[in-house]
Structure 1
Amino acid sequence: MPRRPVVVEPRNRERIVATALELFAEHGPGVSMEDIACAAGLGVGTLYRHFPDRRALVADLATTTLSGLRDHVRAQLAEDVSRWEVLLRVVRYCAGQPLALITSLGAGATPGTAAPVELIQEVDGLLTRLALQAQEEGTLRGDITPEQVVGLLNVMVCRPGARPDDPLSTVMLDGLKAG
């Protein structure tokens, strides 16, 4: 008897990704596959038909998150506003993203789970450019390198529950602002 092909509904995949992004952004990398399936209103089997294991889901989320961040930073850099305002917009955008998950990928990556290196480098390059422009504009401190600014931004936004108005973010932004 021939086996019927498994039908994988794209809407379910979108629900899984959206739910996983939300849960990872809120709770960090410890969210279980079962929690994601339940929150998406789907069975665990449906989740595993789309993503054979946690590694596949996390790699997809890392790519989706970094691509979105890259596109957001590019769009903000094209705006005719102060570079400091662009930096604040980027920090606000990052607050809703599971960047802690991507950071954890880099820390304990096994083959197939590492966040896409090219995307990370591209985002870091855009943020370095933004920091340099803000320094040239005089709105960002000039006594640290743009690369150090990117490192501080990573500390600020790549943690579970990061918000632009939490105490750590507020102190770091106050410390980065010129004058």
Structure 2
Amino acid sequence: MTPAVETETRRTPRPRADALRNRERIVSAAREMLVEFGADVPLDDIARRAGVGNATLYRHFPDRSGLVREVVISVMSRTCDRVDQAVAEEEDPFAAVRRFVHAAADERIGALCPMLAGGFDQDHPDLHAGRERLEESVLGLIERAQSAGRMRTDVAVGDLMVALSQLTRPLPGIGCLGIDRYVHRHLQLFLDGLEAPARSELPGKAATMEDLRTTQ
């Protein structure tokens, strides 16, 4: 190892295992509390649920926007993993779609969507990479089901993501944790409408993710 490399290594030490565990606990606690109480939940409460001191939370996340961004990226990553698992374990391509939709609901995607609306860096590289990976994963899932003739072809990835966001978003004044049985019930009704052969002709055109970005 050259002296230059040795110097650079000393300048950028790897995080300790306990620091990584603390960061994971903070992100997990933030995900739960942001869903339950919204984007304005006190950071001190998040630290308390994570079982760490306030100083530890602020050392990892000096501001709220950084923590919210990390939660959103974490949820997107976990959701992508659910797509991969569904594709690997389900022989029926539409069964993989169904499994993904219910798994994404468990990740509370709909509850997290409003956090992206204001005071948030939409062009952050990590956020962009996570969003791109998620879109590609879901697109592949849909194309696989459509190619097999198991999913109607007049819908696109944007249609699926809009419906998933709306159907999993908590109603005003209703706690998230108590309505799971309704969320999954309504998602199943939606999924029945996606399965081929189609029972009706849809008005308008299929929504792509690009369509959604240009209407924001």
Scaled by the length of structure 2, what TM-score is found?
A: 0.65
Q: For residues 112 and 155 of structure 1, do their structure 2 counterparts lie closer, same or farther at Cα, with a shift above 3 Å needed?
A: closer
Query: Matched residues in 2 for 1:141 and 1:150: separation?
Result: 16
Aligned to 2:127: 116
| Deviation for aligned residue 1:174 | 2.6
Structure 1 position 72 matched with structure 2 position 82: yes
Query: Matched residues in 2 for 1:153 and 1:55: separation?
Result: 24
Q: For residues 30 and 137 of structure 1, do their structure 2 counterparts lie closer, same or farther at Cα, with a shift above 3 Å needed?
A: farther
Aligned to 1:48: 58
Query: Matched residues in 2 for 1:163 and 1:145: separation?
Result: 26
Higher relative contact order (CA 8 A, sep 6+): 1
Structure of greater Rg: 2
| Deviation for aligned residue 1:52 | 0.6
| Deviation for aligned residue 1:117 | 1.9
**1:90-169 mapped onto 2 (5 Å cutoff):** 90-100=100-110, 102-111=112-121, 116-157=127-168, 159-160=169-170, 161=176, 163=180, 166=183, 167-169=185-187
- The number of equivalent residue pairs is 172
Query: Matched residues in 2 for 1:146 and 1:50: separation?
Result: 35
Question: Do the aligned partners of 1:77 and 1:86 also contact (CA within 8 Å) in 2?
Answer: yes
Structure 1 position 63 matched with structure 2 position 73: yes
Structure 1 position 18 matched with structure 2 position 36: no
What percentage of aligned pairs have identical amino acids?
31
My pick for the range that moved more, 21-30 or 43-52, is 21-30
Query: Matched residues in 2 for 1:124 and 1:152: separation?
Result: 15
Letter in 1 for 2:55: G
Cα-Cα RMSD: 3.0
Q: Deviations over 1:10-58 (max 9, x none)?
A: 3322221221122234444343312211222333232112211111111
Q: Which runs of 5+ in 1 are unaligned?
A: 1-6
Q: Secondary structure at the match of 1:29?
A: coil
Query: Matched residues in 2 for 1:144 and 1:14: separation?
Result: 37
